[in-house]
A and B are shown apart, each in its own frame.
Chain A
């Protein structure tokens, strides 16, 4: 279990998180949604141990997160951030193989290269493997970074490793922001697959259709506070959508289809254009 307990965080006079508690268990795919500035990314940063909390605590498999060394933490959780600043010409393979760093003691070089290759295959960028990262399009870069994160998680998903160090976690922030429709769903299903293999997965996304399609549990945040949490069909009701997003919409839940968000025609956000 990875959990955030009564977390409050402030930065420069702004409250980023206001007494928020959330948690993810092994095999679970948790999605955090909310409008801009709701504290989604801050919650994810807190879970990955990057954010100093004014009060509250983060526990990873029942241990306070500060007790882990950077290496130990990296062996137990992988993080995909929203933006990256890589400006030097590494090749795609080199970027993905950087995931090996924290596992060098436990795994052989060949094993680690295999994990990297599998991850590259999974996100479907093997045709770019030798290309220079900085020349790729935004969406391709995003998928390569996801491959790196998956390669970091893979060794921790081996049953023997889970038995030894507990559930590993995958934390991803806006993985679909510059992806086409196919890859949006593909990437989300890769995260889902990691959960099926035993990881605890936390994803921040804006797209509520995607969120509803893949989440076991949704957390809706607004102004740093938790509004509601639970299963998608219970949480994403018209009332909640109006309250949180100021939008008239509802979730379609037809059998044989993925849930999808439908907006009514006379929405304030559209009518105001005059």
Chain B
């Protein structure tokens, strides 16, 4: 199996050490992301503002209204992407699986593109009601609709099997892709630009009013998925074996499906598409602490948060005053990094 690393290193040590290291790294990147940007805010100022000593300054407004929600968003969305990636790879019992398989990405894209292209003509009521939030709300609804459809289809034969889920996912993704294609075809230049950038993801321009509901949904999903760690371990033994060990396998699959759809739906709605984090993060953690989800889940959560926050920091500072779409950064950095880890692992295995 690809990229699993069949070397069991001193896991106990790695497990004990990894979480504190990642946690402190997250804290550091959090402070760094608060301080670095178009307007530099020194760490001393950051501390002063956070402790409430500095009130009413420009820096305080920037920190509270722009940077703080953005950094919190990147931390939580990154955590969600990491955890959902791990959960999907377990449910499909395949390290190549990612949440896109259950329609989250295509559904959200369909919703978002529909609002972008048809929001001013067919769905004026929708756009008027949600105003600035029309695209995120559309993306979330699209995600729920497509995931719900795939869920119903895969349970059609009475059994909720992984293979029926996979087949339904592939078919529906193709159909949704065609719809998106049609919408792209009829879009004008500005709309085309909007939807292209949406599909590359960005954490910019999010206010508390939009960030908060998403964060709540993502946190609920993360907690829910983390609590399924032990059942997911059992599930990897094989469905029959897990059942024999006392696990309600169907209920587990359904729960993971729903929580992942909720989490990624809420994330994609506010950030657009961010590729590769959900795929690469669980792999890296698995190389270090092994497959046990009780360690893999928190590890993926923290590394996801770290990676996305670091990527966002790069995305918004590298070509100031403009921004690079974060999806570009995660893929451009994540890809090579993953390859290096992979080669190292194979080298170790060959020894």
Contact = CB atoms under 8 A, between A and B. Distances in A.
A3 interface: no
A131 B290 CA distance: 12
A122 B20 CA distance: 37
Contact of B4 (A88, A99, A152): A88
Interface string A109-123: 000000000000000
Given A85-B93, A101-B234, A50 B4 contact: no
Interface stretch (A4-12, A25-33, A71-79, A218-226): A71-79
A81 B240 contact: yes
Given A89-B290, A90-B292, A134 B1 contact: yes
A87 B94 CA distance: 8
B202 interface: no
Nearest to A81: B240
Contact of A102 (B5, B6, B246): B246
A89 B5 contact: yes
A98 B293 CA distance: 12
Contact of A86 (B236, B245, B247, B292): B236
B5 to A, nearest CB: 7
Contacts of B62: none
A86 B235 CA distance: 9
Contacts of A94: 233, 290-292
B223 interface: no
B237 A98 contact: yes
* Interface SS of chain B: loop
Interface residues of A, number: 32
A91 interface: yes
A247 interface: no
Interface in B167-225: none
B346 to A, nearest CB: 14
Given A50-B240, A84-B237, A89-B5, A70 B248 contact: yes
A140 B291 CA distance: 20
A79 B4 CA distance: 28
Contacts of B286: 88-89
Contacts of B254: none
A130 B245 contact: no
Contacts of A81: 238, 240-241, 244
A48 B244 contact: yes
A70 B237 contact: no
B8 interface: yes
A76 B225 CA distance: 28
Nearest to B290: A89
B245 A101 contact: yes
Contact of A70 (B5, B95, B246, B290): B246
Contacts of A134: 1, 4, 6
Nearest to B11: A91
Contacts of A78: 244
Nearest to B1: A87
A135 B286 CA distance: 16
A95 interface: yes
A50 B234 CA distance: 17
Interface in B236-276: 236-238, 240-241, 243-248
A132 interface: yes
A79 B244 contact: yes
Nearest to B293: A88
Contacts of A95: 237
Interface in B1-42: 1, 4-8, 11
B290 A74 contact: no
A258 to B, nearest CB: 30
Nearest to B236: A88
A132 B8 contact: yes
Contacts of B348: none
B6 A89 contact: yes
Nearest to A149: B244
A69 B234 CA distance: 17
A50 B246 contact: no
20 contacts: A70-B247, A70-B248, A73-B246, A74-B245, A74-B246, A79-B244, A85-B238, A87-B93, A88-B4, A88-B93, A88-B95, A88-B286, A89-B290, A90-B236, A94-B290, A98-B237, A101-B230, A101-B234, A102-B245, A131-B8
Which 9 A-B residue pairings sit nearest by Cβ, starting from the closest?
A74-B246, A102-B246, A79-B244, A71-B246, A88-B291, A85-B238, A132-B8, A87-B1, A88-B236
Given A72-B246, A86-B237, A91-B290, 12 more contacts: A48-B244, A50-B243, A70-B243, A70-B246, A70-B247, A79-B240, A84-B241, A85-B93, A89-B4, A89-B5, A99-B245, A132-B6
